[in-house]
Structure 1
């Protein structure tokens, strides 16, 4: 009788354990923790705005070749109008036309009548360009170009040819567009060209030609108020560090501030209004793919809405994983000795390694002062600098109007003065106003 009673007790205990196990399991499955959303505040990392690829990959000049003359423009409104008429095109297969072409052959591509050439400041990967215009070709080459030549000599056959020329590597690729709407093409591209400013081709034996405007013109100069930018470094801190609450900040006297955590460092310089960020652990010695680098760098700035003004693709160096974007104002590049006018990224292992940039903003809609500045023609400027004995004119690769940005020494103002610049040995040099006005100061 005692053994039977013990067995009954065991059975009851076992049943209770089973029921308890089922209860706990059900509780775990149905438990929903109550989170306090106020413990982790949302950090605002939006600084300015995002950009599309077509916003940062732009030509700086277009040039039409007619039967007896050249006309051209650097106006962003005109360039956009002409380029927008091409956005309905579907480009066909891209093929190499010549493996190595001479500079004289490149000049011939551009001067042949009934052609339009877009000039780009950087070597644009064709795969990057496919995000701006539509390509039927799904196997685009790993190639790039800095001159886009559109040939409408075959327009009666409703076909337009395009030549993608790399003047640095001296290579040319070709593609075409079928069934182009001739009326739209003529209205937006050909008729537009007639009224543009005349240009001269400056031919140089064995070298690329230069193209210079033939008329003097007035360019608007601007003065902007340097608005309160003390909040900008804090926004970049929130954007660039994975956990902003753990970032330590230390003043650098009155000249700037340092922000750091266990993995990265950001230095803010109050003058010249720029910041430098580095993430040492991500450094890489590998070369990169140009198209991938452009996409990565655009995505990175978009992640924190970091396009504070108009910046355009300026330079790609696949060997060092560097991509630079130059500040532009009304279609003209901005240069400065007082502050940075360039966003530079150096990519690393799966993330940005270095990030250097300005943190000021030019409020283009509200300049506090404007003025007309008379400038000589591009041809007259070229003729003038060619008389300077210490300039090797064969090393000059371009001549154009840009803005010189300077900071007022006594007031929180930024002045932008239009000026002629020339590109020599990879650097832009200003033609000083004193030289153009007959002074004794020479080149800057």
Structure 2
């Protein structure tokens, strides 16, 4: 065989080998559609809404205290304006490195009720960790104190004085004093203070253990509302909560629509407008501090678009690693009516081993306000206090709070709900009871 024949044979073999590998490469690789849908699937959020901590962790009510009287309003325009403005302030602790000043109960109450200066007060539904406050505000000092604040007080200074902001823990009798050297802060606080004539007169009602609750002197009138709701589809929850919905199988039974990927389970109860997602975690789970719970809780809801309505932080339960958010209209909580049950109004999360363990929430969202009725007149705070004093079955020492809320009720097979204002009593164990005007209380109440 001559040299030219060898070259031709070798070339032919190389061409055949090249064709063989090319054929294998084209025929053995997965299709683009399969590659896209299976290997790189990402969960799809329920909606685009994301919230920052200060939008969810908000005061419930604003009070103005003068040396002679107390004032407040359920119109949240001033509360929202002040809370937003405070995010831009820089809080100075000065030379006080041991920032938390601990008081005796007598001195603490004297400071709270001091008539030496006027104050504006912001109250929360539950204590907010110091670390969370620091993440929302600009602090000039790094601190390691573990304190939960449930109130903020602002003095009403003269023009040339620094604005004082006090972060207060009524549970631990601790106060953190900060200064804001910003003329606009003084002016903003003074402007709100000077609006007190537009507010309602309040008084302090004290429980048997000295828990001070602010109540209105006179009757309160609030509109009731009717809303059209929108049911969030099962597929949207499935695509948002499972990491790979392609592995999820559906099992429709009598009471719920059940979805599972063999580990996690999603149950949607159409008749109760309830979603329950269970993710089994290790039983030996570490206890996270409240600020870490809050951080991962808000991130979790942001990641899957869970903010389908306005929600307000309701409470943090460190021992059970649980956080709850309550639906709100303005700053007024929306609670479930047991008399005409439609569905839940709270988002509840329980965490374990840094993973969501149990997640419960409404399967609906409020869409369009259809109508509002004539104002409903609620009994005054004085009458509320009289009813509670006369009712010996209520342990006053176990009352955590008393406030006005909206009851959400309606027929479960309809898309319409009604929101009706009502007095609510919150006990220290989390029980919620409705106060039925002059007719006393309803033990079933609100929950």
TM-score relative to the length of structure 1: 0.84
Residue matched to 2:264: 264
Q: Deviations over 1:98-120 (max 9, x none)?
A: 56434444433333331111101
C-alpha distance in structure 2 between counterparts of 1:241 and 1:182, whole Å: 46
SS in 1 for 2:58: coil
C-alpha distance in structure 1 between counterparts of 2:387 and 2:317, whole Å: 33
Confirm or deny that 1:400 pairs with 2:403.
Answer: yes
Which 5+ residue runs of structure 2 have no aligned equivalent? none
SS in 2 for 1:366: strand
Residue matched to 2:55: 55
For the Cα contact (< 8 Å) 2:61–2:123, is it kept in 1? yes
C-alpha distance in structure 2 between counterparts of 1:194 and 1:302, whole Å: 40
C-alpha distance in structure 2 between counterparts of 1:146 and 1:393, whole Å: 20
Q: C-alpha displacement at 1:185, in angstroms?
A: 3.0
After superposition, the Cα gap between the structure-2 partners of 1:205 and 1:320, relative to the gap in structure 1 and judged at 3 Å, is: closer
After superposition, the Cα gap between the structure-2 partners of 1:424 and 1:95, relative to the gap in structure 1 and judged at 3 Å, is: farther
After superposition, the Cα gap between the structure-2 partners of 1:126 and 1:48, relative to the gap in structure 1 and judged at 3 Å, is: same
SS in 1 for 2:54: helix
Q: C-alpha displacement at 1:326, in angstroms?
A: 1.4
Matches within 5 A, 1:41-440: 41=37, 44-47=44-47, 49-93=49-93, 96=98, 100-112=102-114, 113-139=117-143, 141-153=145-157, 155-181=158-184, 184-203=187-206, 207-227=210-230, 229=231, 231-253=232-254, 255-336=255-336, 337=338, 338=341, 339-363=343-367, 365-368=368-371, 370-408=373-411, 411-433=414-436, 436-438=437-439
Q: Deviations over 1:328-372 (max 9, x none)?
A: 123211221333221111222332222111111112x42355442
C-alpha distance in structure 2 between counterparts of 1:165 and 1:248, whole Å: 50
SS in 1 for 2:211: coil
SS in 2 for 1:391: coil
C-alpha distance in structure 2 between counterparts of 1:296 and 1:270, whole Å: 28
Which 5+ residue runs of structure 1 have no aligned equivalent? none
Q: Which moved more, 1:322-331 or 1:136-145?
A: 136-145
Q: Which moved more, 1:278-287 or 1:416-425?
A: 278-287
After superposition, the Cα gap between the structure-2 partners of 1:247 and 1:330, relative to the gap in structure 1 and judged at 3 Å, is: same
C-alpha distance in structure 2 between counterparts of 1:97 and 1:359, whole Å: 44
After superposition, the Cα gap between the structure-2 partners of 1:95 and 1:164, relative to the gap in structure 1 and judged at 3 Å, is: farther
Q: Deviations over 1:138-163 (max 9, x none)?
A: 4453322111112235x454312222
C-alpha distance in structure 2 between counterparts of 1:300 and 1:222, whole Å: 31
For the Cα contact (< 8 Å) 2:349–2:359, is it kept in 1? yes
After superposition, the Cα gap between the structure-2 partners of 1:160 and 1:147, relative to the gap in structure 1 and judged at 3 Å, is: same
C-alpha distance in structure 1 between counterparts of 2:403 and 2:134, whole Å: 28
What is the aligned-residue RMSD (CA, Å)?
3.7
For the Cα contact (< 8 Å) 2:401–2:426, is it kept in 1? yes
Q: Deviations over 1:78-127 (max 9, x none)?
A: 20122233233100137555564344444333333311111011211122
After superposition, the Cα gap between the structure-2 partners of 1:172 and 1:204, relative to the gap in structure 1 and judged at 3 Å, is: same
Q: C-alpha displacement at 1:259, in angstroms?
A: 0.7
Q: Deviations over 1:273-317 (max 9, x none)?
A: 111111114555211021111111101100111111111111112
SS in 1 for 2:364: coil
C-alpha distance in structure 2 between counterparts of 1:410 and 1:260, whole Å: 26
After superposition, the Cα gap between the structure-2 partners of 1:133 and 1:35, relative to the gap in structure 1 and judged at 3 Å, is: farther
Query: Number of aligned pairs?
Result: 428
Q: C-alpha displacement at 1:135, in angstroms?
A: 1.7
For the Cα contact (< 8 Å) 2:91–2:179, is it kept in 1? yes
SS in 2 for 1:431: strand
Residue matched to 1:36: 32
After superposition, the Cα gap between the structure-2 partners of 1:163 and 1:335, relative to the gap in structure 1 and judged at 3 Å, is: same
For the Cα contact (< 8 Å) 1:103–1:206, is it kept in 2? no
Q: C-alpha displacement at 1:206, in angstroms?
A: 5.1
Q: Which moved more, 1:85-94 or 1:386-395?
A: 85-94
